[in-house]
Homo-oligomer: A and B are copies of this chain.
Amino acid sequence: MGDTDLFQSLKGGLIVSCQALDDEPLYGAETMAKLAKAAQMGGAIGIRANTTQDIMAIQEVVDLPIIGLVKKEYKDSEVFITPTINELQELINTDVDIIALDATDRKRPNGEELKDLINLAHCSDKYVMADISTFEEGMLAVKLGADCLSTTLSGYTPYSPQSDEPDYELLKRLVQYSPVPVIGEGRVSTPEQAREILRFNAHAVVVGSAITRPQLITKRFVDIINEEEEENEQESINKSKLRVND
């Protein structure tokens, strides 16, 4: 698929992130493949996936563009989304269309540098999605050759806004200044938020946990149910106070 065709196919659409780490109940490549198939059935136009095992299992049952990444923690760095050349090389050896990697302004493991990772990906005919947390990081990633930007890491670096909502401000600013497509990602909990992100002219929107992490979807239902109970309790307290004051 050529550059134009690939990014054109993602335009205005929903990319579903299908990930479960080894301490999550849905962990396992077979289950991730089932989730990706479900996402395609529901109308997703791309899949974001972690680990080469998951990616290969997904590609057996789904024919959508895949944004691949490999999460790995290193002791000398906070960067964990495709942090080093090693994870990048694993992904280059698969059939993914786009490789997502941390492009924040933080020290990478082994003193590696972002520009070298981007160059290696390009030499291997892979596109790079730069996961960033601030406007400046996005602009730097573009300068270093990133093929698209994603707001994935806003809220996950200590110096970006800490919020439960998508970072609409970051998205708007990137859309205004970035010469490459900007993807809205991170803390998208509802269809209305996804719609809002596309309304701000994001090229596409990525939704993960709200679709593919049932433990977090359940928790969201439970939290909102309990909020109401607390409000009612608070109301009762206020009413009893009122009675005292009467």
Contact at A218–B16, with CB atoms within 8 Å?
Answer: yes
Stretch at the interface among A38-46, A139-147, A165-173: A38-46
Residues of B within 8 A of A203 (CB): none
Residues of B within 8 A of A14 (CB): 218, 221-222, 225
Once A211-B221, A212-B214 are accepted as A-B contacts, the answer to whether A195 and B41 lie under 8 Å apart by CB is no
Interface: A241 (CB within 8 A): no
Interface: A37 (CB within 8 A): yes
Contact at B224–A191, with CB atoms within 8 Å?
Answer: yes
Where chain A touches its partner, the secondary structure class is helix
Chain A: number of interface residues, binned into ranges: 35 or more
Interface: A192 (CB within 8 A): yes
Contact at A219–B25, with CB atoms within 8 Å?
Answer: no
Interface: A85 (CB within 8 A): no
Contact at B38–A34, with CB atoms within 8 Å?
Answer: no
0/1 interface trace, chain A 3-46, chain B, CB 8 Å (1 if under):
00000000011101000000011101001001101110111100
0/1 interface trace, chain A 194-221, chain B, CB 8 Å (1 if under):
1100110000010100111111111111
CA gap between A192 and B214 in the complex, in Å: 17
Q: List 24 A-B contacts (CB under 8 A).
A: A14-B218, A16-B218, A24-B38, A25-B34, A26-B34, A26-B38, A31-B31, A31-B34, A35-B214, A38-B218, A41-B215, A42-B216, A42-B220, A42-B222, A43-B223, A191-B220, A191-B221, A191-B223, A191-B224, A195-B228, A198-B225, A205-B225, A211-B217, A211-B221
A residues engaging B (CB < 8 A)?
12-14, 16, 24-26, 28, 31, 34-35, 37-39, 41-44, 191-192, 194-195, 198-199, 205, 207, 210-225, 227-229
